[in-house]
Structure 1
Amino acid sequence: MPKTARALLQLPPATVGALEKLGADLAVARLRRKESLRSWAKRMGVTVSTLQRLEAGDPSVGIGIVATALWLIQRDGELRDLAAPEHDQGALELDVRAAVALGRARAQASAETRLSKREQD
């Protein structure tokens, strides 16, 4: 039996839930298209057991397999924006904090310069 990667064991519960929902949604998409596990797996180039793991939300299924499943339902275009910098809220907040800190530092430096000029006059 293969060893499970530590990262997979440490997935946050919300992420596990999201993977399970994605798998279930892909199963619904397959069923709505009236495709069997066998035919869908063949179209994806995977085994039926891999497709079953994907539909169960198994986090060890490779991202390429997930991408192929999304391609089959014409949703693979969503992948290009998943981690786009303009949608990275955490990084945007850090950028804002850095800009605010820089603005405060410059304002403080400007105030100190004005004060020292006044003292020199």
Structure 2
Amino acid sequence: MLPPPVERALITLGEHLYIARKRRKQTLSSFADRMQVSVPTLRKMERGDPTVSISVYAMALWLIGRVQFLAEIANPVSDEMALLLELRNLSTQQKGTSR
């Protein structure tokens, strides 16, 4: 079972990809062919099914001209939580060495 925020994010991504396909007036069959997947797999992706491979999502993003955002999702430069943890560790280390 997925945590609710993960489940919601996949469902939202699937809905967004569905809308992108419809706005481009692509049928399920033609879009699936371009993605090199089956129509059932495309349907699953559009429903946010967690069993669909990330490569399927990546291909859909590429077809709608948005694949560049995939690489930025976990960019360490934007990882504020890791930065806060590093700063906390440095602060703790500094307190320990100043005695």
TM (norm. structure 1) is 0.78
Equivalent of residue 77 in structure 1, options 65, 68, 89: 68
Q: CA RMSD in A?
A: 1.0
What's the counterpart of residue 111 of structure 1?
none
Unaligned runs of 5+ in 2: none
Answering whether residue 29 of structure 2 is matched by residue 38 of structure 1, we say yes
Note the C-alpha offset of 1:100.
0.5
The separation in 1 between residues aligned to 2:70 and 2:16, in whole angstroms, is 16
How does 1:1-121 map onto structure 2 within 5 Å? 9=1, 11-108=2-99
Q: 1:5-46 CA deviation, whole Å, 9 max, x = no partner?
A: xxxx2x110110010000000000000000100000000000
Larger radius of gyration: 1
Structure with more relative contact order (C-alpha pairs < 8 Å, separation 6 or more): 2
The separation in 2 between residues aligned to 1:30 and 1:55, in whole angstroms, is 10
Identity fraction in percent: 43
Unaligned runs of 5+ in 1: 1-8, 109-121
TM (norm. structure 2) is 0.94
SS in 1 for 2:74: coil
